[in-house]
Amino acid sequence: MSVATNSPVPESLQPFLSSPKKMLIGGKWVDAKSGKTFEVFDPASDQVIAGVAEGDAADVELAVAAARKAFDQGPWSKMGGSERSRLIWRIGELIEEHADELAQIETLDNGKPFAVAKAADVALAADMFRYMAGWATKIEGNTIPIQLPYAPESEFHAFTLREPVGVVGQIIPWNFPLLMAAWKLAPALTTGCTVILKPAEQTPLSALRLGELILQAGVPDGVVNIITGFGETAGAAIASHDQIDKVAFTGSTEVGKLIINAATGNLKRVSLELGGKSPNVIYDDADLDSAIAGAADAIFFNQGEVCSAGSRLFVQKGVYDEVVAGVSEIAKNLKVGSGFDASTQMGPLVSREQFDRVTGYLKAGVSEGAEAAAGGSALDRPGYFVQPTVLKNASEDMSVVREEIFGPVVAAMPFGDEAELVGQANNTAYGLAAGIWTRDISKAHRFAKAVKAGSVWINCYSVFDAALPFGGYKQSGWGREMGHAVLENYLQTKSVCVSL
Ligand code: NAI
Ligand code: MG
């Protein structure tokens, strides 16, 4: 691993950074009712970059009133699919027109390399709005022939309507701030819902810029409201609010369970995209060069702060040493530094808290008996930098194998045969994703059927597309993001029956 030099924040971002960071409620930018603000940090330097309005329950109250009004009475509820579609498409275009600026904001706020922010976060966010724009005109029910057993002579015309679920609270994390906002907002808008969005307290900036673009696109006041603030205050007020019809959450499994409990008051709908500890499998018959590069990418992409990261690497015994050596070699050569340095391949972790969590796991792994074949510690410099790390001699009872680390740390374990592998791969509370590398297509497909995970990648990893559903089995969540599957999260079905 080599260290890139620290590059300064682009001058062009200064006007955005120095403007006051208010919340979007009912089409207006407002301060928190309490007048409080909180600080946002540059993870590459540990310096404060902005102060942002600290919303809490009182501000959520105002946002819910605005969203309710827009849903119950506003122009939004009367707008046809074609017009909604045009607005949503326009948001995608505006994201693309501001791609450099949005990617810079993301790099500054989250730490990720600028090239990654632009090619992945920003491009996928624009594409998500474009994909979802198409659905606004294609939300259809069915006509259903019925005949009553107890009145066979009677005749009916029966059909279903698909209606928006209503006012939606959306609580998102810090690992892909803009993209997570897009995954949530685009399907809510296409189905005709209104929204209160709460970005993560670590990374609120790109959502605020997106809010400006959403207004610029012409989305009516109150349809999208953005509350910045902390989870325990603003987030909890959203999850428990009895005038919110649904909450969509992405984040930790622990908080996902709190959300479910908070939602019981009015039995609001809940969808959850939670943590993972995904198995990535390499067989001895794989194309080892691409499998090794793929395994490194599966864990080091985005500093390992990816819910579907391939954090448990299972390698068939005969090639275990070769694969561990290969992934370790890549780890040692990765350029770690400021996301604004063009040569940087891996940035800092998002926050001091996440840095403490990940370095805590590095210590725990070694004390439980694993050995660092690459990395293993923090970098001695300002900012929240850790080394890309490969742990070998890991076993299933270790915390680094059982728990989500959410950092650039992979635990490599050998396996013997297929039967042993499937048991090991599924030995987790999570079920978000899985990868397999082999030239034997039958073996690959058998694994795809046997593994309990919402996404399976064969001879590839981390392939995301707006059209492809994504979400968890087991404790990785409820419901799906993206694809037409996500529409289910935001629609409900009404059956209408007419006597003829
Ligand atoms: P978190 O789950 O606490 O935060 C995610 C979002 O939930 C943030 O917007 C936060 O403000 C909000 N939140 C927190 N507590 C809440 C509450 N009681 N009610 C309503 N909203 C609440 O995640 P955190 O603390 O940032 O990270 C902890 C661990 O969670 C990470 O190490 C990682 O393992 C996991 N995580 C998983 C993510 C995923 O994409 N599945 C994303 C972020 C974190
Ligand atoms: Mg938390």
Tell me which DSSP letter residue 7 carries: P
Q: How far apart are CA 258 and CA 263, in angstroms?
A: 9
Q: CB neighbours (10 Å) of residue 475?
A: 18
Q: What is the pTM of this model?
A: 0.98
- Ligand 1 pocket, residue 407 CB under 6 Å: no
Query: Could you say which ligand is closest to the alpha carbon of residue 262?
Result: 1
Select from 52, 109, 255, 302 the residue to mutate for testing ligand 1; criterion: most ligand atoms less than 8 Å from CB.
255
What is the pLDDT, as a whole number, of residue 492? 98
Structure tokens at 53: 């309005």
- Ligand 1 pocket, residue 175 CB under 6 Å: yes
Residue pair 367/37 in contact (Cβ under 8 Å)? The answer is no
Helices (H) and strands (E) in the chain, counts: 18, 21
What is the pLDDT, as a whole number, of residue 9? 81
Using DSSP bridges, classify how beta strands 477-478 and 269-273 pair: parallel, antiparallel or unpaired: antiparallel
Q: CB neighbours (10 Å) of residue 113?
A: 27
Considering only CA atoms, which residue is closest to atom 16 of ligand 1?
231
- Ligand 1 pocket, residue 406 CB under 6 Å: yes
R_g over Cα of the chain: 24
Strand partners, 163: 492
**Cα–Cα nearest to 388, from 309, 326, 425, 334:** 334
- Ligand 1 pocket, residue 306 CB under 6 Å: no
Strand partners, 391: 372, 411
Exposed, middle or buried by CB within 10 Å (0-12, 13-18, 19+), for 64? buried
Strand partners, 162: 493
Q: At what angle do helices 205-217 and 81-97 cross, to 10 degrees?
A: 130
Q: How far apart are CA 265 and CA 62, in angstroms?
A: 20
What is the pLDDT, as a whole number, of residue 2? 56
Exposed, middle or buried by CB within 10 Å (0-12, 13-18, 19+), for 413? buried
Residue pair 225/246 in contact (Cβ under 8 Å)? The answer is no
What is the pLDDT, as a whole number, of residue 10? 87
Q: Give the Å distance between the CA of 235 and the centre of ligand 1.
A: 10
Where do we find the tokens 């059982």? 402
Q: How far apart are CA 206 and CA 20, in angstroms?
A: 14
Q: Give the Å distance between the CA of 200 and the centre of ligand 1.
A: 8
Closest atom of ligand 1 to CA, residue 229:
11
Neighbouring residues of 452: CB distance < 8 A, sequence distance ≥ 6: 426, 431, 473, 474
Residue pair 188/168 in contact (Cβ under 8 Å)? The answer is yes
Q: Is 101 a catalytic residue?
A: no
Query: Could you say which ligand is closest to the alpha carbon of residue 174?
Result: 1
Q: CB neighbours (10 Å) of residue 186?
A: 25
What is the pLDDT, as a whole number, of residue 195? 99
**Cα–Cα nearest to 457, from 279, 311, 251:** 279
Query: Could you say which ligand is closest to the alpha carbon of residue 247?
Result: 1
Query: Could you say which ligand is closest to the alpha carbon of residue 179?
Result: 1
Q: Give the Å distance between the CA of 202 and the centre of ligand 1.
A: 10
- Ligand 1 pocket, residue 484 CB under 6 Å: no
Residue pair 232/28 in contact (Cβ under 8 Å)? The answer is no
Q: Give the Å distance between the CA of 255 and the centre of ligand 2.
A: 7
- Ligand 1 pocket, residue 190 CB under 6 Å: no
Q: How far apart are CA 225 and CA 211, in angstroms?
A: 8
Q: Is 497 a catalytic residue?
A: no
Per-residue pLDDT of the chain (500 residues; tens, 9 = 90+): 555 555 678 888 988 998 999 999 999 999 999 999 999 999 999 999 999 999 999 999 999 999 999 999 989 989 999 999 999 999 999 999 999 999 999 999 999 999 999 999 999 999 999 999 999 999 999 999 999 999 999 999 999 999 999 999 999 999 999 999 999 999 999 999 999 999 999 999 999 999 999 999 999 999 999 999 999 999 999 999 999 999 999 999 999 999 999 999 999 999 999 999 999 999 999 999 999 999 999 999 999 999 999 999 999 999 999 999 999 999 999 999 999 999 999 999 999 999 999 999 999 999 999 999 999 999 999 999 999 999 999 999 999 999 999 999 999 999 999 999 999 999 999 999 999 999 999 999 999 999 999 999 999 999 999 999 999 999 999 999 999 999 999 999 999 999 99
Tell me which DSSP letter residue 365 carries: H
Residue pair 84/59 in contact (Cβ under 8 Å)? The answer is no
Give me the DSSP letters along 429-497: S--SEEEEE-S-HHHHHHHHHHS--SEEEES------TTS-B--SGGGEES-BSTGGGHHHHEEEEEEE
Q: Give the Å distance between the CA of 342 and the centre of ligand 1.
A: 30
Tell me which DSSP letter residue 363 carries: H
Strand, coil or helix: what is 279?
Answer: strand
Considering only CA atoms, which residue is closest to atom 26 of ligand 1?
173
Secondary structure of 128-190 in HEC code, one letter for each residue: HHHHHHHHCCCCCCCECCCCCCCCCCCCEEEEEEEEECCEEEEECCCCCHHHHHHHHHHHHHH
Closest atom of ligand 1 to CA, residue 276:
41
Select from 60, 183, 252 the residue to mutate for testing ligand 1; criterion: most ligand atoms less than 8 Å from CB.
252
Residue pair 354/464 in contact (Cβ under 8 Å)? The answer is no
Which residue of the set 54, 106, 201, 273 is catalytic?
273
Identity of residue 478:
W
What is the pLDDT, as a whole number, of residue 447? 98
Q: Give the Å distance between the CA of 251 and the centre of ligand 1.
A: 4
Residue pair 281/435 in contact (Cβ under 8 Å)? The answer is yes
Strand, coil or helix: what is 13?
Answer: helix
